[in-house]
Amino acid sequence: MWDNRCKIAVSGVGYSKATRSADIPLAAHALEAVRGAVADSGLRMEDIDGLATYPELPATGHAEVDGISIVSVNCMMAMLKLPSLTWHIQVGTTNIGGAVQQATNALLAGVCKYAVVWRAMHNPRGTYQNLPGNMAAGASQFTGPYGFGGPGQGMAVAYTRWLEKNGQTRDKMATLAVTQRKHTQHNPHAYFYGTELTREDYFASRMVAYPFCLFDCDIPVQGAVAIVLTTADRARDLKPTPAYLAGYGQRLHFETAGRIGSLSSYMEGGSSSAKLTWERSGFTPKDVDVAQIYDGFSASVIYGLESYGFCKEGEALDFIQDGRIELDGELPLNTFGGSLGTGRIHGLWHIIEGALQASGRAGSRQVKDVNVSFVGASAPIVTGTTFIFVKEPY
Amino acid sequence: MSDWSKVTRPIPVPNEWTKPFWDAAKRESLELQRCQSCGFFQHPPFATCVQCVSVDLKFEPVRGKGTIYAYTIMYHTGDKRFASAVPYASIVVELDDAPGALMAGNLLGSQYTEAKVGRRVEVIFEKLNDDITLPQFRLAGE
């Protein structure tokens, strides 16, 4: 087990409004989320001495303008002018989960005391994925000419492989979309709060990239979320009940650029991250009371459930049936609505919900008697990280 | 059948790793990067062998027969260049001679509904301009 098990905790969390279009600069969303997380902790901005983020804009063919389409650490430093700042970092390989892990490491090293991590996501005007120009250079020379336009198709190819190899059909995925939308109705910060989804809506929706229909894809939004991380002893003195970090992991496998569709690569990415997390925390999938698994595209949940060890390969679409992933089910899943419900803010919202469920702060969507709360914060192969938060720091 | 006649495909830009692949395609030959230490074929080209980390890599011809490893049917018309072909099948092919090396393509000459995992396909060549010829796939007779 990990020597630093339960020595770091998530304290406050914060959100900006998630809107469909970019009415105000993204920096304003990030600021709102960061201030919210600090206030939720009962801290003042002057107490914050660590900053971390992953600022990528996942849309292609759009300019990255700091403060407008991304919010870097430099941008946040310039806005906040924190008097106590002692540490900051921006990660590249593991999306926002990597920023949370780096903040954890910095707190353990004693180089900061209260770190804020945010993820801000821009929704550009026009087509989200748009290979600019008439040429396909770099990795896209082997995919762009064939009309592989973006991650949707990239994820879809592995999904057909999974479906047909396992003799399954996409109909069963309706359960995931409908159940998560039901959960969304308990999350007032979510984009689809107040908008229900039926099985009929799912089956009637337009196809985007088969097997993905519209409701298999998270909706691009403009918004930000943030968390405050601190050491366990400090977290106990703050306002919210802490969610203790029992263990984390990151994917240890990556695909060569331009190679798409390999199902085994998804599985290796997820299992390598989960293995570290189970070993460090001392838990197994059977111990988990509630799970958040990244769902930018619905099929990521399949790869997550299987590669993390919640069910066997080929069984995930059967596993999610019969009420198992409902709030009172055997494994309540994406209880905040997932990205399919909140809109595309990548994995920090999954981490927030994992922490809220562990600390008993999830309101009307709180799962009963949670101690072990699992998070798979990104698509297993792309940028996968995994976490376990617990209520009892034993 | 998908109408490709009005599609303007983005033109591949060869680089020092990939030039031999495109040079061969121009001759209507399929050549993939092969590790001279362990014999593994890989695609797309990479700096080292993905099996044994050797840097001794050369391009060698492979036969253009294989199976559909995975596919997707594109319905979304976000990329206007491909709008006239929608719905169309983008496929990932595993060649008989190069297991593990995954090649992207379109399924040409058949309805997009014919794209299924495990179907046999063979390479054909689509000339884009005087410099670039694109390997593509159609269903194979066997």
Rounded to 10 degrees, what is the CA torsion of A134, A140, A141, A146?
-80
Give the ipTM of the model, two decimals please. 0.96
Preceding peptide of B44 cis, ω within 30°? yes
Q: Are B10 and A153 inside 8 Å of each other by CB?
A: no
Distance CA A250, CA A257 (A): 19
Whether A135 has its CB under 8 Å from any CB of chain B: the answer is yes
3-state secondary structure of A100: helix
Residues of chain B in contact with residue A61, where contact means CB-CB under 8 angstroms, are none
Residue A367 burial (CB count, 10 A): 19
Q: Architecture of domain A8-126+219-390 in CATH? A: 3-Layer(aba) Sandwich (3.40)
CA distances in angstroms from A20 to A192, A305, A314, A339, B32, listed in the order given? 11, 30, 35, 14, 44
Mean pLDDT by 10 residues, chain A (394 residues): 98 95 93 98 98 90 91 97 97 92 98 98 83 84 87 88 96 98 98 98 97 96 97 98 97 81 86 96 98 96 95 97 98 98 95 98 98 90 86 90
Q: Which residue on chain B is closest to A207 by alpha carbon?
A: B75
All structural domains of chain B with their residue ranges: 19-139
pLDDT in tens, chain B (142 residues): 899 999 999 999 999 999 999 999 999 999 999 999 999 999 999 999 999 999 999 999 999 999 999 999 999 987 889 999 999 999 999 999 999 899 999 999 999 999 999 999 999 999 999 999 999 999 997 6
pLDDT of residue A380: 65
H-type alpha helices, chain A: 26-41, 73-80, 95-109, 151-165, 174-184, 199-204, 232-236, 263-281, 299-307, 316-319, 338-342, 348-359, 380-383
pLDDT of residue B142: 60
All structural domains of chain A with their residue ranges: 8-126+219-390
Q: If contacts are CB pairs under 8 Å, which of residues 72-91 in chain B contact chain A?
A: 72-76, 78-79, 81-82, 85, 87-88, 90-91
Q: Which tokens sit at A249? A: 């992991």
The answer to whether B33 and B58 have CB atoms below 8 angstroms apart is: yes
Whether A128 has its CB under 8 Å from any CB of chain B: the answer is yes
Tell me the whole-structure pTM to 2 decimals: 0.96
Residues of chain B in contact with residue A164, where contact means CB-CB under 8 angstroms, are 116-118
Distance from CA of A270 to the nearest CA of B (A): 19
Distance CA A156, CA B65 (A): 23
